[in-house]
């Protein structure tokens, strides 16, 4: 660990450098260029503020006061080589990396040609694939875990260079649609504000980067405020540097971020440390915020004039101008000339941007999902090829859902070196020497579904993560953005919530919000559901509708072993992010066991299965309710001759409307059955659609059977009363059939 600290209030660091005239390695030309970027950045802000007041743009977020640190980072790192997760104040950084002012104004007007998002995101939400500037969102801090995943992917690829290759034969998969590149000494830069360092995701990211010695530069641009909340109320002790100083493997810098030369030196040292593979770096840059938080904020409400005056003394643009004059690098004329050139350039850029066309309203759903690989298509419809027989020629016992999920993971890992598996307890044993000396057998997940995979594929392809769900999903998202295929595990659905920010605001939005500039296809496997007799509230819940409510996320929920294998393979090979829900009760159930279907068996998403054909009543369900509904339907047929058509949706987003509609047209009665709580559940949407679109075909109201609107309880008597049982299904079917 190395630490370098300069007094934040210090005078221009280049005073010392003056003697050598090297300015920490920056040439005079680079210093002029740095000033040009800084001045341009400030003037773009000023222009945007004007445009907002004229109602020609719709939002403004300034980078004022953060220009020096941004330019310094941009000069110390390599554009199109290193990777960047810059937050909204990093306008000067983006300019230094090659973003054009015109492109920034296109963001403001929300133009179709805005390369960041095509009018979908606010300005200052940077995304420029060719420059390796990865699409940024608005939640404070959610980018940090992804940056860690991005760095992780770079290092993985440098150890597995063959993984970059795209197979030319075999059935197509997501690899055909992603250009993957890496550099052995690449760095990932991520920035955040002082306020954002209070987010848990920041600490999860710091921990993960330190554990993995990952080449990430964390840059905290500390302007002393998070909107109106000052740093001493935000950060215990008032100094983030002090708080993070205990993280091992880090290089630390604390610098006056209004000084481009000192900031450049700090980034140079940080970058050297990261490129050498020693670990991550932390740059704490003290900056100012001369304008209010945004145009929607008025800082005079909480900052007195005297304080704002004090900040103004440290304005990086003025200070750098004075520095250039003092050093004789530019004279008054030179400064005037440069500023005139910038003004002229910006005028042209604004005029052009104001003429740019807005996006077409019909395009709003474009790029929610891969435009290249349709997950419902016949590409993913391949037959099961059962070849297994034992040596004496007898049939091999059918496999459980757990067996076939493990087999599918193993097959896919063999086929695709980009797949990595991580999560809590998924490894066989993190202390590899225990395995090597055969002291232990290995764990492989709390449900043992990843058992043996670490031993077979190595500990950089299958490993335990820290106990941090946001980190699991955020890191997977960053890795997938770079072209890896993380297949991660959330141990219990009940504990998915720390990852909710990543699952709602990040992973499924990446392709849409970047207008197809970036994508992050990965698989989140989640153990879900009850009927466990003793699982209770925190090991038994469902809640799939919360995720099917998210555009951009595929959600599947198999009810049997064969479907689990076919759907999981599709999930792994497809080009969209997938939430793969595995019902714990079904893992080793005797219902729905199947023979191993071969290493290429796939089921397209959005194709339901008719479990049992019937003419009198349609039951639409999925997951662990399927065997219960089947039992109820068989009883009803035995006792009353009612023939129920039972539909297993298998995938919930997309879902198979055609099969539902065809069935209801035949039976004229529909019951939707699901394990989740009744109200606002997944079945409510299906019931509403049937009522809306098939009203003329119905001879009875659409009914639902689901869990009571409460939590799942521990005592089995209570659990039985809460979750839908075969008898509840039987009674509902009987009533509806005779309506
Ligand atoms: C998760 C989340 N919570 C709240 C907000 C609203 N918000 C936007 S910026 C901001 C303050 C950020 O302060 P800081 O990290 O210090 O960055 P600065 O704006 O000062 O550069 C807040 C609260 C948000 N965007 N995301
Ligand atoms: Mg701040």
Residue 145 · residue 478 · CB < 8 Å: yes
Residue 152 · residue 213 · CB < 8 Å: no
pLDDT, tens only, 683-693: 999 999 999 99
Catalytic residue among 286, 293, 539, 583: 539
> How far, in Å, is the centroid of ligand 2 from the Cα of 197?
9
pLDDT, tens only, 501-516: 999 999 999 999 999 9
- The CB density around residue 361, as the number of other CB atoms within 10 Å, is 6
- Res 141 pLDDT > 60: yes
- Res 9 pLDDT > 50: no
- Mark residue 370 as left, alpha or beta (left: phi above 0; alpha: psi -120 to 50; beta: remaining): beta
Q: Encode 667-712 in three state secondary structure.
A: HCCEEEEEEEECCCCHHHHHHHHHHHHCHHHCCCCCEEEEECCCCC
Residue to substitute in 194, 196, 231, 292 for testing ligand 1 pocket (most ligand atoms within 8 angstroms of CB): 196
The arithmetic mean of pLDDT across residues 216-230, rounded, is 97
193: Cβ below 6 Å to ligand 1? yes
Give the span between the Cα atoms of 112 and 108, in whole angstroms: 11
> How far, in Å, is the centroid of ligand 2 from the Cα of 206?
19
Residue 83 · residue 150 · CB < 8 Å: yes
Residue 651 · residue 703 · CB < 8 Å: no
Q: What is the pLDDT of residue 293?
A: 87
Give the span between the Cα atoms of 453 and 35, in whole angstroms: 54
The arithmetic mean of pLDDT across residues 548-569, rounded, is 98
- The CB density around residue 301, as the number of other CB atoms within 10 Å, is 8
**Catalytic (active site) residue 286:** no
- Res 129 pLDDT > 90: yes
* Six-digit token string for 374: 């349709």
* Six-digit token string for 544: 């799939």
* Six-digit token string for 204: 């999860």
Q: What is the pLDDT of residue 10?
A: 40
Which atom from ligand 1 is nearest to the alpha carbon of 231?
Answer: 16
Give the span between the Cα atoms of 734 and 282, in whole angstroms: 66
Q: What is the pLDDT of residue 428?
A: 97
- Res 13 pLDDT > 70: no
> How far, in Å, is the centroid of ligand 2 from the Cα of 660?
52
Within a 13 Å sphere around the CA of 250, how many CA atoms are in the beta-carbon half?
25
Percent of the chain at pLDDT > 70 equals 97
Give the span between the Cα atoms of 598 and 387, in whole angstroms: 8
Percent of the chain at pLDDT > 90 equals 94
- Res 4 pLDDT > 90: no
pLDDT tier at 368, thresholds 50, 70, 90: very high
* Six-digit token string for 84: 């960047």
196: Cβ below 6 Å to ligand 1? yes
Average predicted confidence (pLDDT) for the chain: 95
226: Cβ below 6 Å to ligand 1? yes
- Res 7 pLDDT > 80: no
Interstrand relation of 651-653 and 609-612 (parallel, antiparallel or unpaired) = unpaired
Q: What is the pLDDT of residue 285?
A: 98
CA distances from residue 285 to 162, 210, 253, 404 in whole angstroms, order as listed = 39, 20, 8, 51
Q: Which helix (H) or strand (E) holds 35?
A: helix 28-53
Q: What is the pLDDT of residue 294?
A: 86
pLDDT, tens only, 528-537: 999 999 999 9
CA 736 to chain centre: 43
* Six-digit token string for 383: 């037959």
Q: What share of the chain is helix, strand, coil (3-state, %, to 5)?
A: 45, 15, 40
* Six-digit token string for 519: 């994508």
The arithmetic mean of pLDDT across residues 298-319, rounded, is 95
SS3 of residue 286 by DSSP: strand
User: Which residue has 């079904």 as its token pair?
Assistant: 586
Ligand nearest to the CA of 69: 1
pLDDT, tens only, 153-211: 999 999 999 999 999 888 899 999 988 999 999 999 999 999 999 999 999 999 999 99
For ligand 1, atom 17: residue with the closest CA: 193
- Res 573 pLDDT > 50: yes
- The CB density around residue 439, as the number of other CB atoms within 10 Å, is 10
- Res 8 pLDDT > 50: no
Residue 260 · residue 65 · CB < 8 Å: no
Q: What is the pLDDT of residue 390?
A: 67
Q: Between the CA atoms of 62, 67, 72 and 74, what dihedral angle is there, to the nearest 10 degrees?
A: 40
* Six-digit token string for 181: 């590149």
Residue to substitute in 195, 197, 224 for testing ligand 1 pocket (most ligand atoms within 8 angstroms of CB): 195
Q: What is the pLDDT of residue 391?
A: 65
The arithmetic mean of pLDDT across residues 368-387, rounded, is 96
- Res 21 pLDDT > 80: no
Q: What is the pLDDT of residue 396?
A: 84
- Res 1 pLDDT > 80: no
Provide the terminal-to-terminal Cα distance of the chain, rounded to the nearest Å: 75
pLDDT tier at 353, thresholds 50, 70, 90: very high
- Res 650 pLDDT > 70: yes
User: Which residue has 């089921």 as its token pair?
Assistant: 603
- pTM of this prediction? 0.96
User: Which residue has 């690829």 as its token pair?
Assistant: 157
């Amino acid at each position: 660990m190395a630490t370098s600290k300069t007094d934040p209030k210090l005078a221009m660091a280049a005073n010392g450098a003056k003697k050598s005239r090297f300015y920490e390695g920056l040439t005079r030309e680079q210093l002029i260029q740095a000033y040009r970027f800084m001045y341009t950045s400030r003037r773009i802000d000023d222009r945007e503020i004007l445009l907002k007041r004229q109602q020609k743009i719709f939002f403004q977020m300034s980078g004022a006061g953060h220009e020096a640190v941004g330019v310094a980072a941009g000069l110390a790192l390599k554009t199109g080589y290193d990777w960047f997760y810059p937050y909204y104040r990093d306008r000067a950084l983006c300019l230094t990396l090659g973003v054009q002012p015109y492109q920034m104004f296109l963001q403001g007007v929300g133009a179709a040609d805005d390369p960041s998002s095509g009018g979908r995101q606010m300005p200052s939400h940077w995304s420029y694939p060719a420059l390796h500037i990865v699409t940024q969102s608005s939640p404070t801090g959610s980018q940090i875990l992804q940056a860690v995943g991005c760095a992780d992917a770079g290092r993985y690829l440098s150890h597995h260079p063959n993984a970059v290759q795209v197979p030319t034969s075999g059935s197509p998969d997501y690899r055909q649609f992603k250009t993957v590149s890496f550099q052995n000494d690449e760095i990932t830069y991520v920035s955040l504000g002082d306020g954002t360092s209070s987010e848990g995701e920041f600490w999860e990211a710091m921990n993960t980067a330190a554990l993995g010695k990952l080449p990430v530069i964390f840059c905290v641009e500390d302007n002393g405020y998070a909107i109106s909340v000052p740093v001493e109320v935000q950060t215990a002790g008032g100094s983030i540097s002090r708080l993070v100083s205990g993280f091992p493997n880090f290089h630390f810098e604390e610098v006056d971020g209004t000084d481009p030369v000192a900031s450049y030196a700090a980034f140079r040292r940080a970058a050297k440390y990261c490129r050498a593979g020693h670990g991550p770096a932390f740059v704490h840059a003290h900056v100012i915020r001369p304008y209010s938080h945004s145009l929607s904020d008025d800082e005079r409400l909480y900052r007195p004039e005297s304080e704002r005056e004090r900040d103004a003394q440290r304005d990086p643009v003025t200070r750098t101008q004075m520095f250039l004059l003092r050093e004789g690098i530019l004279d008054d004329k030179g400064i005037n000339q440069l500023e005139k050139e910038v003004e002229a350039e910006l005028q042209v850029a604004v005029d052009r941007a104001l003429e740019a066309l807005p996006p077409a309203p019909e395009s709003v759903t474009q790029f929610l999902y891969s435009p290249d690989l349709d997950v419902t298509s016949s590409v993913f419809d391949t037959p099961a090829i059962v070849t297994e027989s034992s040596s004496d020629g007898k049939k091999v016992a059918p496999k459980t859902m757990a067996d076939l999920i493990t087999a599918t993971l193993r097959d896919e890992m063999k086929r695709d070196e980009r797949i990595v598996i991580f999560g809590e307890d998924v490894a066989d044993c993190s202390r590899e020497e225990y395995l090597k000396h055969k002291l232990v057998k290995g764990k492989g997940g709390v449900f043992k579904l990843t058992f043996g995979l670490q031993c077979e594929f190595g500990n950089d392809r299958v490993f335990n993560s820290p106990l941090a769900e946001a980190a699991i999903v955020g890191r997977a998202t960053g890795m997938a953005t770079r072209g890896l295929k993380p297949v991660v595990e959330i141990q219990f659905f009940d504990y998915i919530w720390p990852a909710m920010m990543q699952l709602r605001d990040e992973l499924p939005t990446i392709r849409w919000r970047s207008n197809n500039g970036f994508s992050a296809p990965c698989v989140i496997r989640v153990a879900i559901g009850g009927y466990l007799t003793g699982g209770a509230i925190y090991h038994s819940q469902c809640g799939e509708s919360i995720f099917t409510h998210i555009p951009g996320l595929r959600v599947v929920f198999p009810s049997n072993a064969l479907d689990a294998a076919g759907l999981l393979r599709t999930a792994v090979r497809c080009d969209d992010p997938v939430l793969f829900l595995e019902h714990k009760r079904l893992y080793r159930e005797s219902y729905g066991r199947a023979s191993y279907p071969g290493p290429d068996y796939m089921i397209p998403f959005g194709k339901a299965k008719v479990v049992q054909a019937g003419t009198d009543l349609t039951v639409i369900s999925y997951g662990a309710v399927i065997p219960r509904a089947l039992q109820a339907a068989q009883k009803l047929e035995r006792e009353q001759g009612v023939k129920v058509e039972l539909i297993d949706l298998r995938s919930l987003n997309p879902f198979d409307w055609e099969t539902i509609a065809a069935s209801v047209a035949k039976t004229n009665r529909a019951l939707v059955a699901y394990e989740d709580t009744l109200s606002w559940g997944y079945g409510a949407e299906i019931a509403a659609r049937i009522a809306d679109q098939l009203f003329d075909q119905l001879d009875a109201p659409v009914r639902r059977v689901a869990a009571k609107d409460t939590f799942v309880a521990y005592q089995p008597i209570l659990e039985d009363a809460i979750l839908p049982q075969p008898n509840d299904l039987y009674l509902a079917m009987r009533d509806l059939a005779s309506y």
